[in-house]
């Protein structure tokens, strides 16, 4: 009974919205809005053919490589900068400036420096996504509790062990917050780098459909991007729940008190 | 495992000013000045005392008298401005391996992302103690503090007193030769506190470890210690160093009811009042009563 | 983001005798300045030493000179104005919509449950997916920018408002009810003050996102503004000019950050329950 009610809550509004959409396409044919049936039909036809291998997969691969590299660079750099006081003071204003540059402007710059290549697209994603992770990690490392740090120190937990058992876990809530920002930024940059100058990839294909007024196809591309975003968000939430279980548990206890 | 030290000399003849046969921990002329932007703060002026192996000494002093500061110097977390700390004859320059510290802020001294068992185990794992030995040590330590039933809980799922017991278990499992405790029971309720006090005595006797126990509670210092070191108020020197000649077997009800307990308590109380008023001992740095 | 700023309130009574507020800042700022200078020097040297061709990465001095020259041009300020207008309008629309919907949805348990799946599904959709649609509907006009900006900024604010409304103390709310406060009065006196810190966080995050999307729309679609000028400079071979404009967008970004932080602080300084940011 309870499960049914939950299911109702989850599905009611989406179903209602789709019905509304369907009803709105019943009358005159709207050039901009395809019927749900047409969209679903196009979706399978357009994206589950060869295009899946020539456009979708390469895009996702570039996104993954870029985001993973950005996270790695951000965490390593953040731990380093966050642990060394003078280094932090030295670099922080410069890094804040880099973070403030809207990442899409890196696309023309990197095209200039690297040409229109796959590595340029990955570089765009890395150079945009690295800042949230880097700055959040610095913040997290800086905020390691003094007593905890002293405890670790007196038990001889130094060097790599300190990073592994103290610094990284302690900064993980902030790191995850940075990763979350990076993921959505990464997706945006993936699309932009392909829309701006490219001859393949998801972004390119969608713009291509739009230019040739293939409206249902264009919509199906928007849906693909949406699904990609939703999938990434769910994977992230799942990972976050596991990695930060202790953190959420602790917060709950604190809030209950 | 533990080199069996001479049985704890509790209740034996006081040192009475004679040179001690052996010294475990030696604090010599320690001075600490904090340099802040608002100017220098002299937390500790000149502290000198020795602890024999297997001794249980309590350190009492008014709030702000630099007890935590002293412990940080002894444990090598902070370098003293002047003077030195010797552990087993060697100068302390960083956290020594033989030493464990239990901090006052129990809630912040345990790793919240590790379960109870992992918290106790981590220092041993980091030392490269083999798994089998590690398991026994951790089991024994958890048993000793009465927490065998919650190894898989996270620290934040436990009550304050339990958390502090985890911190103590971690220190015990580490098998230190010197155990420093900074007002470890300041934030637990009275009943838990009594239990933990007895626990410390039991553990101390069993392991023969040298304990320096910081507290601001006069009763606690007299009940626990073989010796009470009273600090003056800031700028801090040793106000008095007295021997607690109570029977070795202590008991929350009977020991506290002894006339001698009351006398010692009075004495310590008076000394602290004097210290607060700024009265200085005749010779700063005297080591015996 | 950092909450280690004790100087935000009134004159806090200092506990220690000699503990004045931390005054070591100049050394830190000097070091930070040295960092910036070091960065510029490195940038200057890389093309000068020929590590990267000067045609692709002009020395810092040249770019800064170009930027200073831009500062004297009306065309530059018009572009800045266009970008900022899109940013501001988009942000305002997004905040207004999100606050309205957030308070309506948030204050009803039924609506909250019923919309949750839809919100969680629409929120992660990257706003750039709407670019082709925007082009079809509006072409290169400012409306294209507004559509993208509003969509992206809307979710940032909505989520925070929902968190904020959920944070309302049930006891306070019920107390208000028993004293006969109506729905509007409760929202005004109980819900809104609680949600305000969250709202401000949302607005701050949204402001950054809005700038990103404003530049994106100009860059990709070609709606008027700095982003379009950057694309034009790049394709026209005005490389120093392009880098100068990139620097300009960075400066705008810094300004927006500073502005939003100070607004957040001002709004919340009178507020009793300043809360730290929720990690969502
Ligand atoms: N990090 C620090 N920087 C500057 N001054 C400090 C610092 N830590 C302690 N002090 C000062 O040193 C003096 C002694 O502090 P300490 O914490 O050692 O006292 P305590 O005896 O442990 O007090 P309590 O019983 O309240 O814990 C105090 O005046 C305190 O203000
Ligand atoms: Mg203290």
Query: Which ligand gives the minimal distance to the CA of B234?
Result: 1
User: Which of A155, A156, A169 comes nearest B113 by C-beta?
Assistant: A169
Q: Which residue's CA lies nearest to atom 4 of ligand 1?
A: B34
ipTM of the shown complex: 0.89
Cα-based torsion angle of the residue sequence C154, C158, C160, C163 in order, rounded to the nearest 10 degrees: -170
Question: CB-based contacts of A183: which residues, under 8 Å, 6+ apart?
Answer: A67, A129, A232, A233, A236
φ/ψ (deg, to 5) at B279: -70, 135
What burial letters (b/e) apply to C98-133, b meaning 16+ CB within 10 Å? bbebbbebbbeeeebbbbebbbebbbbbbbbbbbbb
A256 at the C interface (CB within 8 A)?
no
* Chain B interface disruption, residue of A140, A147, A152, A155, most B CBs within 10 A: A155
Higher-confidence position of A187 and C140: A187
Q: Rounded to whole angstroms, how far apart are CA atoms A2 and B23?
A: 70
> In chain B, where are the structural domains located?
41-98+179-193+200-284, 110-175
CA–CA gap between residue C186 and residue C158 (Å, rounded): 20
Given a contact cutoff of 8 angstroms between Cβ atoms, the answer to whether C133 and C124 are in contact is no
- pLDDT given at position A41: 85
Give chain B's end-to-end CA distance (angstroms, integer): 36
Three-state DSSP string of chain A: CHHHHHHHHHHHHHHHHHHHHHHHCCCCCCCCCCCHHHHHHHHHHHHCCCHHHHHHHHHHHHHHHHHHHHHHHHHHHHHHHHHCHHHHHHHHHHHHHHHHCCHHHHHHHHHHHHCCCHHHHHHHHHHHHHHHHHHHHHHHHHCCCHHHHHHHHHCCCCHHHHHHHHHHHHHHHHHHHHHHHHHHHHHHHHHHHHHHCCCCCHHHHHHHHHHCCCHHHHHHHHHHHHHHHHHHHHHHHHHHHHHCHHHHHHHHHHHHC
- Compute the distance from residue B30 Cα to the ligand 1 centre, in Å: 15
Residues 6+ apart with CB under 8 A from B74: B25, B27, B85, B92, B99, B180, B212
> Which of C149, C134, C77, C57 shows the shortest CA–CA distance to A102?
C149
DSSP tag of C129: G
User: Within 10 A of C12 (CB to CB), how many other CB atoms are there?
Assistant: 10
Mean pLDDT of C22-27: 59
Q: Does residue A169 contact residue A240 with C-beta atoms inside 8 Å?
A: no
C195, C173 in Cβ contact below 8 A? Answer: no
Token digits for B140?
Answer: 């024994």
To test the contact with chain C by mutation, choose from A104, A218, A235 the residue with the greatest count of C C-beta atoms within 10 A, namely A104
Following DSSP, what letter does each residue of chain B receive, concatenated? ----PSPP-TTS---TTSPPS--SEEEEEEEEEEEETTEEEEEEEEEEEEE-TT-EEEEE--TTSSHHHHHHHHTTSS--SEEEEEETTEE-SS--TTEEEE-S-HHHHS-TTS-HHHHHHHHHHHHT--HHHHHHHHHHHHHHTT-TT-TTS-GGGS-HHHHHHHHHHHHHHT--SEEEEESTTTTS-HHHHHHHHHHHHHHHHHHT-EEEEEES-HHHHHHH-SEEEEEPSSSEEEEEEEE----SS--TTHHHHSHHHHHHHHHHHHHHHHHHTT---SSTT----
Q: Residue C46 is encoded by which pair of tokens?
A: 């890389």
Assign domain C60-278 to a CATH class: mainly alpha
The CA distance from B241 to A200, in Å, is: 82
- For the segment B165-216, what is each residue's pLDDT rounded down to a tens digit? 999 999 999 999 999 999 888 777 888 888 889 989 988 998 889 999 999 8
Q: How confident is the model at residue A257 (pLDDT cuts 50, 70, 90)?
A: low
- Ligand 1 atom with the smallest distance to the CA of B35 is 4
Per-residue confidence (pLDDT) for residue C24, from 0 to 100? 52
**pLDDT beyond 90 at B27:** yes
CA distances (Å), B104 to each of A53, B216, B234, C253, in order?
60, 12, 20, 45
pLDDT on residue C171: 66
Letter string b/e over residues B119-142, b meaning 16 or more CB atoms within 10 A of that residue's CB: bbbbbbebeebeeeebeebbeebb
Summarised one tens digit per residue, pLDDT across range A128-148 is 999 999 999 999 999 999 999
Shortest-distance ligand to the CA of residue B42: 1
Touching A (3+ Cβ pairs <8 A), the chains are B, C
**pLDDT at residue C17, as a whole number:** 39
What value does the mean pLDDT of chain B take?
A: 85
Tokens of A59: 């895009």
Q: Is the dihedral of CA A236, A237, A238, A244 positive or negative?
A: positive
Q: Beta B82-87 vs B90-91: how paired, if at all?
A: antiparallel
Q: Which residues are B229's β-sheet partners?
A: B59, B241
Q: Is the pTM of this model over 0.90?
A: no
Residue C65 pLDDT > 90: yes
Q: Kindly report the CA angle at A170 between A169 and A174, in degrees rounded to 5?
A: 100
Nearest CA, atom 30, ligand 1: B64
Contact residues on chain A for C57, CB-CB shorter than 8 A: 113
Quick check: bond before B133 cis, omega within 30? no
Alpha carbon nearest to ligand 1 atom 17, residue:
B68
Partner B contacted by A249 (CB < 8 A): yes
Phi (first) and psi of residue C225, to 5 degrees: 145, -175
Question: Considering Cα of C232, then C236, then C239, then C244, what sign does the dihedral take?
Answer: negative
Task: Indicate whether residue B81 lines ligand 1 (CB < 6 A).
Answer: no
For chains A and C, CB pairs below 8 A equal 170
User: Which of B37, B66, B229 best tests ligand 1's pocket when mutated (most atoms within 8 Å of CB)?
Assistant: B66
Domains delineated in chain A: 39-256 (1.10.3720.10)
Which residues of chain B neighbour C22 with C-beta distances below 8 Å? 37
Predicted pLDDT at A139: 93
Taking contacts as CB-CB distances below 8 angstroms, the residues of chain A near B76 are 154
**What whole-number distance in Å separates Cα of residue C16 and Cα of residue C82?**
52
What is the distance between the terminal CA atoms of chain A, rounded to a whole angstrom?
Answer: 33
Separation in Å, CA of B217 to nearest CA in chain A: 22
C279 to chain A: which residues are within 8 Å by CB? 173-174, 176-177
Q: What is the mean pLDDT of residues A240-257?
A: 87
pLDDT-derived band of residue C7, with 50, 70 and 90 as boundaries?
Answer: very low
3-state secondary structure of C50: coil
pLDDT surpassing 80 at residue C6? no
pLDDT at B238 over 90: no
Q: How many CB atoms lie within 10 A of CB A40?
A: 14
Report the alpha-carbon angle A24-A26-A28, nearest 5.
90
Given a contact cutoff of 8 angstroms between Cβ atoms, the answer to whether B107 and B99 are in contact is no
CA dist., res. C152 & res. B286, Å (int) = 72
Q: Environment class of residue A20 by beta-carbon count within 10 Å: exposed (0-12), middle (13-18) or buried (19+)?
A: exposed
What is the percent of chain A with per-residue pLDDT over 90, rounded to a whole number? Answer: 58
pLDDT for residue B9: 42
Range from A28-42, B244-258, C34-48 that averages highest in pLDDT: C34-48
CB contact, 8 Å: C223 with chain A? no
pLDDT at B129 over 70: yes
B106 contacts chain A (CB < 8 A): no
Q: Which atom of ligand 1 is nearest to the CA of B72?
A: 18
In this predicted model, which residue has the larger pLDDT, A24 or B209? B209
Contact C126, A184 (CB under 8 A): yes
Question: What architecture is the B41-98+179-193+200-284 domain classified under in CATH?
Answer: 3-Layer(aba) Sandwich (3.40)
The domain ranges of chain C are: 18-48, 60-278
Q: Whose CA is nearest to atom 8 of ligand 1?
A: B69
Task: List, for residues C95-119, the tens digit of each pLDDT value.
Answer: 999 999 998 898 888 888 889 888 9
Per-residue pLDDT, B14: 43
Confidence of residue B16 (pLDDT cuts 50, 70, 90): very low
Measured in whole angstroms, the distance separating CA A230 from the mean position of its chain's CA atoms is 10
Q: Report d(CA A131, CA A96) in Å as an integer.
A: 9
- The answer to whether A172 and A180 are in contact (CB under 8 A) is no
**Ligand 2 geometric centre to CA of B70 (Å):** 9
Q: Give the chain C residue whose CA is nearest to the CA of B39.
A: C18
Which range has the worst mean pLDDT, B66-75, B279-288, C128-137? B279-288
């Amino acid at each position: 009974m309870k499960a049914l009610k939950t299911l109702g809550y989850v599905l009611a509004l989406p179903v209602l919205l789709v019905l509304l959409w369907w009803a709105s396409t019943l009358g005159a044919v709207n050039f901009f809005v395809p019927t749900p049936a047409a969209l679903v039909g196009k979706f399978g036809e357009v994206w589950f053919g060869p295009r899946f291998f020539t456009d979708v997969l390469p895009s996702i691969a570039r996104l993954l490589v870029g985001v993973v590299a950005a996270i790695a660079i951000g965490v390593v750099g953040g731990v380093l900068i966050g642990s060394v006081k003078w280094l932090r003071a030295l670099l922080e204003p410069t890094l804040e400036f880099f973070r403030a540059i809207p990442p899409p402007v890196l696309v023309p710059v990197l095209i200039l420096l690297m040409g229109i290549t796959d590595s340029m697209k990955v570089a765009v994603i890395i150079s945009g996504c690295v800042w949230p992770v880097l700055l959040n990690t610095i913040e997290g490392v800086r905020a390691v509790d003094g007593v905890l740090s002293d405890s670790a120190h007196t038990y001889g937990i130094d060097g790599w062990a300190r990073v592994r058992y103290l610094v990284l876990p302690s900064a993980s809530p902030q790191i995850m917050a940075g990763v979350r920002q990076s993921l959505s930024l990464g997706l945006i940059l993936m699309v932009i780098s392909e829309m701006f100058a490219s001859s393949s990839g998801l972004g390119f294909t969608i713009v291509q459909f739009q230019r040739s007024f293939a409206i249902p196809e264009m919509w199906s591309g928007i849906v693909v991007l949406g699904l990609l975003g939703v999938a990434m968000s769910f994977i992230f939430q799942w990972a976050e729940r596991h990695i930060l279980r202790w953190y959420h548990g602790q917060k709950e206890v604190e809030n209950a008190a | 495992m533990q080199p069996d030290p001479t049985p704890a000399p509790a209740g034996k003849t006081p040192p009475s000013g004679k040179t001690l046969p052996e010294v475990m921990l030696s604090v010599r002329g320690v001075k600490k000045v904090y340099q802040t932007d608002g100017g220098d703060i002299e937390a500790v002026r000149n502290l000198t005392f020795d602890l024999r192996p297997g001794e249980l000494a309590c350190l009492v002093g008014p709030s702000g008298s630099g007890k935590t500061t002293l412990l940080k110097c002894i444990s090598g977390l902070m370098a003293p401005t002047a003077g030195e700390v010797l552990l087993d004859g060697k100068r302390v320059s960083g956290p020594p391996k033989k030493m464990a510290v239990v901090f006052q802020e129990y809630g912040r001294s345990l790793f919240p992302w590790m379960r109870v068992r992992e918290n106790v185990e981590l220092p041993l794992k980091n030392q490269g103690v083999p798994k089998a030995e590690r398991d026994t040590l951790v089991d024994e330590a958890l048993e000793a503090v009465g927490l065998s039933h919650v190894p898989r809980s996270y620290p934040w799922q436990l009550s304050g007193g339990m958390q502090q017991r985890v911190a103590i278990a971690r220190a015990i499992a580490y098998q230190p030769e010197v155990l420093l405790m900074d007002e470890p029971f300041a934030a637990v309720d009275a009943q838990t506190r009594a239990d933990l006090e007895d626990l410390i005595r039991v553990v101390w006797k069993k392991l023969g470890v040298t304990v320096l126990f910081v507290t601001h509670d006069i009763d606690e210092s007299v009940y626990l210690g073989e010796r009470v070191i009273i600090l003056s108020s800031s700028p801090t020197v040793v106000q008095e160093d007295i021997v607690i000649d109570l029977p070795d077997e202590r008991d929350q009800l009977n020991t506290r009811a002894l006339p001698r307990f009351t006398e010692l308590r009075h004495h310590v109380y008076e000394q602290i009042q004097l210290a607060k008023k700024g009265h200085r001992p005749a010779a700063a740095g005297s080591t015996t009563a | 983001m950092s909450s280690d700023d004790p100087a935000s309130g009134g004159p806090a009574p200092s506990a220690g005798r000699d503990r004045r507020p931390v005054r070591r800042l100049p050394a830190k700022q000097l070091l930070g300045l040295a960092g910036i200078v070091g960065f510029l020097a490195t940038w200057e040297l890389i093309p000068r030493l020929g590590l990267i061709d000067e045609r692709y990465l002009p020395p810092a001095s040249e770019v800064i000179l170009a930027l200073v020259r831009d500062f004297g041009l009306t065309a530059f300020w018009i572009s800045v104005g266009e970008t900022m207008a899109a940013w501001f309008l988009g942000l305002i629309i997004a905040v207004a919509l999100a606050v309205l919907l957030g308070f309506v949805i948030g204050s009803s348990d039924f609506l909250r449950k019923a919309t949750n799946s839809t919100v969680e599904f629409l929120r992660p959709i990257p706003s750039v997916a709407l670019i082709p649609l925007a082009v079809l509907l509006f072409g290169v006009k400012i409306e294209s920018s507004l559509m993208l900006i509003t969509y992206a900024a809307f979710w940032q604010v909505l989520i925070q408002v929902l968190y904020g409304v959920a944070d309302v103390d049930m006891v306070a709310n019920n107390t208000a009810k028993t004293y006969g406060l109506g729905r509007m009065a409760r929202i005004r006196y109980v819900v809104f003050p609680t949600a305000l810190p969250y709202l401000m966080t949302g607005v701050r995050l949204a402001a950054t996102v809005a700038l990103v999307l404003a530049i994106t729309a100009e860059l990709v679609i070609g709606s008027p503004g700095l982003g379009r000028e950057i694309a034009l400079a790049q394709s026209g071979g005005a490389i120093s000019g392009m880098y100068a404009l990139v620097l300009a967008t960075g400066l705008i970004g810094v300004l927006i950050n500073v502005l939003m932080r100070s607004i957040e602080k001002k709004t919340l300084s009178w507020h009793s329950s300043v809360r730290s940011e929720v990690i969502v």
